[in-house]
Structure 1
Amino acid sequence: MRNLVKSFSFLFLLSFSTLQSQNFNEEELSYSEFLGYVKKYHPLVKQANLEVTNAQAKLMAARGGFDPKIEVDYNKKEFKGTEYYSLLNSSFKIPTWYGVEIKAGFDDTDGQYYNPQNRTPEAGLASLGITVALGQGMFINQRMADVREGKLNLKLSDAQRKLRAIEVLYQASEAYFEWRRSYNEAELYRNYLGFASTRFQGVKKLIDAGDGAAIDSVEAKITVRNRELNVENGNLKLAKAKLKLANFLWIENVPVELGDLVKPEQNLIQTIEETLRTDAMMVEMESLDSHPKIQSLETKMDILEVNRQLKANSLLPKINVGYNYISDPNYWNTFNADDYKFNIDFSFPIFLRKERGNLKMAKLKIQDLQFDIGQQRLELKNKIKAQQTEIASLRRQKIVIDNLVKDYMTMLNSEEKLFSFGESSIFLINSRENNLVSAKLSQISLENQFYISNAELYKILANPD
């Protein structure tokens, strides 16, 4: 009988070690490869890139305020065969920086009834002149402010693009880690279902040989059924995790589903910090000044500063001076300084209450944003430190759980040896194995927490490029 028990124990352990060392040759989808697909093809990442394109379009529209412009105004009245008037006013304007506008024009007037001030020579009247803002609009005006804000919005859009993209990449990372966790749990349950089935068959043989109690087969069968439930539940979680992961898999605007033979990266714990650039040395090299959230706030500060300058400029009087040299087109080459049009426009509010109020509000907005930037810097700094502390703690916990798994494995192996000598029971082996399975599940869970913690640090750093 003792020899039969030893033979069964040897076959059981051989089967156990064979299953433990099983080599899977399925195609592996690495985490870095997965992130590469998401960055390149996912619609929400592409949508984030539209932020920059939209800002470029706005900048183009703002620069349109300095586009040269042709204007033509023609009016004619004729009644009962009499031409009352025919008035042509045309101009070509070139707006420039610092409130200077160059203008060329041509006027022609004909008819019997028109305002004498509109009278022109027979060939018309040509003009060339300049208009200069000497007060408001000399150093900054609405057109200049629009262009400056357009350039700043382009910088702002890149920061916002990074923040939107990093959110998608974080969600994709969570889906990948959940898939990996579900895959490893399902594999674990399948392996231990195999062990339980082998043990059950061995117990049946012992009972058939008269060397075991019938109740042992019930004990072994209960374990098999529990493992079957675990496998089914694990397969369900894996199927759902794969579908969730598929939400982030696109190639050339076509969604892609994972094949049944594709498996997650198994040495992820060795590569994740390099993939996400979350190791301590890389994080120390990252400057908060380059953080998208800080860049976004500081760019908004620059935009508010442009607005403040515009409001401050409104405290100046409006003084627009214009000079136009005029001449008969036939005598254009003959310069006569006495032929000109000159104009000056002046206006200035007495109390400036509206202007002073707008300027004060602009300054308060800047002050409010300065407080926000200081708070955001502190929060980001502390979040990074907290996340690094969590990662370091999880790394230490990983060492503990690995040793715990080894200890439970040692206990199980010892129990199996005792069983081979007839000094243990199926109940004790199952108990030791259950403890080992629980420890391995905790190991998988802890690894998953480590990956998520690194992804959270990656999200806080917000550098998806």
Structure 2
Amino acid sequence: MRGKGWKVGWVVCAVLGGMGTASRARAQGEGVPLSLEEVLGSTREHHPRMEAAQRDVAAAEAELLAARGGFDPLVRARGLAIPFGYYQHERIEATVEQPTPLWGLRLSAGYRLGQGDFPVYYGQYETLSAGEVHAGLALPLWRDGAIDKRRAVLAQARLRQRIAAFELAGERLGLQRQAAYQYWDWVAAGRQLTIATSQYELALARRAQLAHRVTAGDIPQIEHTENERVLLGRDADRIAARRALERATLKLSLFLRDARGEPQVVSTARLPSGFPVPAALMEEGMERWLEQALRRRPELRGLDLRREVLEVDVALARNLAAPAVDLGLRVARDVGVGPANLRPTEVQGSLVLDIPLFAREARGQRRAAEAKQAAVAARARYAREEIITEVRDALSALRASHERVGLAHGAAEVARQLARAEYTRFEHGDTSLLVVNQREQAAVEAEIGEVRALVDYQRALVDLLAATVALEPSSEAPRDNGPRGP
């Protein structure tokens, strides 16, 4: 069982090598042993917590759609009529405005019609008979140039959508780890029930043999009574092991679900025959596992994105403190008949200056965003340290549990040999059934110790794969493609 060292590269294949077996197992019926991948696949596809996390992703996508609405064109229309009074006139105005993500540029186009009598001070409302068409643009030269509220909201919505995708991946990874734990606990409970049942059946088979030998005067009555005592105790152990298996099966059903998402209580007929035999390992690959964990862990990527969200807040606060220098250009032309002074094409240029004197709001928002940014950076630093420790601990646990499996297997073999040898001595009258039962109890404890060592080994393997995101199929890893257009 002990190799010269340990080879970590094989472990991914050990757990993930059965990809795709879930559908085949379902098709083949109840007699097929339940595989770990079937449980993991069911958890990924049908667990309610996955559905809840997917709803969060859908909500983030809806928020992104709402943020893109900031760049929707806006139509404004207005009509005014004064049929009674000294200056009787009518006015109609309609304008389409289109904000763009290009340095805050805003475009506009529209039409207006003004007919009737206008006072001198409202002469700008008058148009030729067919009205006026106009187009214009507004370009911020300083504030709202590099960033503005619309673009900030859109950028943050994109980032939050990616954060939600990584949170979904983190939820999926955590659920798969729990599912794997429950699966191996279920396998262990099945194995312990097998051990308890075999010991009970052994004592039951001896009952008739011992009764015959007592009748023949070969052994004293106390030996038969001793077997009855052991038989009762082993029956109680068998019932306890059966109850432990039922509990493990029910817990497993929370992760093993049908297409409708309902828990499946799996039959004991689908219990595997035992645990896979651990392969030899070699002492290498620590840096590779650490690099993979730090590159793929979703919580680290999520924290990086949260820091980017706050960077947008900092940039927006800086923008709010800057002076507004807006350049405007408008071209208008009247069509139809009417006064000659309305016929020429009109070109207007404008420059608007707006300077915040104290900018306390902007400074406060910037300081708050920078403080939150520092807090996220501290959490990211600690999360990185936790992940490094988690990977190292998982590798250490895998190494130790591998050694324990070898020792436990050897101890179980020796205990079984001693139990068989002691019973042979009993048959020759060289010992008592009490000593035989003690030897057999020691063998049972050694076998259960081996089962526990195997469970610890599989848990350590799951921990390593979860810590390095090797439980996560590559096709389901969140894609981080960066920002796209509005």
Q: Normalization by structure 2: what TM-score?
A: 0.82
Whether 1:45 and 2:73 are equivalent positions in the alignment is no
Q: Which amino acid aligns with 1:32?
A: E
Partner of 2:183 in structure 1?
176
1:350-365 equivalences in 2 (<5 Å):
350-365=357-372
Q: Which stretches in structure 2 are left out of the alignment for 5+ residues?
A: 1-29, 474-486
Give the letter for the 1:302 counterpart. Answer: E
Instruction: Verify the 8 A CA contact 1:294 1:377 in the aligned structure 2.
Output: yes
Q: How does 1:183-262 map to 2 (within 5 A)?
A: 183-262=190-269
CA positional deviation for 1:142: 0.9
Following superposition, the deviation at residue 346 of structure 1 comes to 2.1
d(CA) in 2 for partners of 1:74, 1:442: 88
Q: Compared with structure 1, are the counterparts of its residues 172 and 313 closer, same or farther at alpha carbon in structure 2 (3 Å cutoff)?
A: same
Is the contact between residue 40 and residue 176 of structure 2 (CA under 8 Å) also seen in structure 1? yes
Q: How does 1:400-415 map to 2 (within 5 A)?
A: 400-415=407-422
Contact 2:82 2:90 in 1 (8 A): yes
Indicate the SS of the match to 1:48: helix
With over 3 angstroms needed to count, the CA separation of the structure-2 counterparts of 1:447 and 1:321, relative to structure 1, is: same
Does structure 2 conserve the Cα–Cα contact (< 8 Å) formed by 1:31 and 1:268? Answer: no
With the length of structure 1 as denominator, give the TM-score of the two structures: 0.86
Return the offset for 1:201.
1.8
Paired residue secondary structure (1:262): helix
- Residue 49 of structure 2 aligns to a residue whose secondary structure is helix
What does 1:266-277 correspond to in 2, within 5 Å? 266=273, 268-270=275-277
1:144 aligns with 2:148: no
Aligned counterpart, 1:349: 356
Is 2:292 the partner of 1:307? no
Contact 2:75 2:95 in 1 (8 A): yes
1:179 Cα deviation from its structure 2 partner = 1.5
What residue number does 1:440 align with?
447
Q: Secondary structure at the match of 1:108?
A: strand
| Aligned mates of 1:318, 1:417 — CA distance in 2 | 100
Q: 1:254 to 1:356 in 2, by over 3 A?
A: closer
Q: In structure 2, what is the Cα distance between the partners aligned to 1:409 and 1:337? A: 110
Task: Give the drift of 1:406.
Answer: 0.9
1:88 is aligned to 92
Residues 424/271 of structure 1: CA separation in 2 closer, same or farther (3 Å cut):
closer
1:146-161 alignment runs, 5 A limit: 146-161=153-168
Identify if the C-alpha distance between structure 1 residues 322 and 337 changes in structure 2 by more than 3 Å, giving closer, same or farther: farther
Matched residue SS, 1:49: helix
The 3 A distance-change label for structure 1 pair 336 and 108 is: closer
- The Cα shift of 1:35 comes to 1.0
CA RMSD of aligned residues (A): 2.7
User: Residues 402, 431 of structure 1: CA spacing in aligned structure 2 closer, same or farther, 3 A cutoff?
Assistant: same
Q: Deviations over 1:80-118 (max 9, x none)?
A: 9x9944322111122112111111111112345673332
Task: Please name the residue that 1:11 is paired with.
Answer: none
Partner SS state of residue 299, structure 1: helix
C-alpha distance in structure 2 between counterparts of 1:262 and 1:83, whole Å: 96
* Structure 1 equivalent of residue 21 of structure 2: none
| 1:391-434 C-alpha deviation (Å, 9 max, x unpaired) | 21111111111111111111112112212221111111101001
What residue in structure 1 maps to residue 387 of structure 2?
A: 380
Alignment-derived partner of residue 56 in structure 1? 61
**Displacement of 1:195:** 0.5
Q: 1:129 to 1:188 in 2, by over 3 A?
A: same
Tell me the secondary structure at the aligned position of residue 386 of structure 2. helix
CA distance in 2: counterparts of 1:180 and 1:243, whole angstroms:
13
Looking at structure 1, the residues matched to 357 and 108 of structure 2 have their Cα atoms a distance apart, in angstroms, of 32
Structure 1 CA distance for aligned equivalents of residues 327 and 344 of structure 2: 18
Please report how far the alpha carbon of residue 457 of structure 1 lies from its aligned counterpart in structure 2 after TM superposition: 3.2
Q: Say yes or no: does 1:68 pair with 2:73.
A: yes
**2:292 maps to which of 286, 305, 312:** 286
Q: Within the alignment, does 1:101 sit opposite 2:81 as a pair?
A: no
May I ask how many residue pairs the two structures share in their alignment? Answer: 433
> How far has the Cα of 1:156 moved from its partner?
1.2
Q: Matched residues in 2 for 1:259 and 1:301: separation?
A: 45
Of 328, 334, 341, which aligns to 1:328? 334
Using the TM superposition, name which of 94-103 and 249-258 deviates more: 249-258
Q: CA deviation at 1:371?
A: 2.4
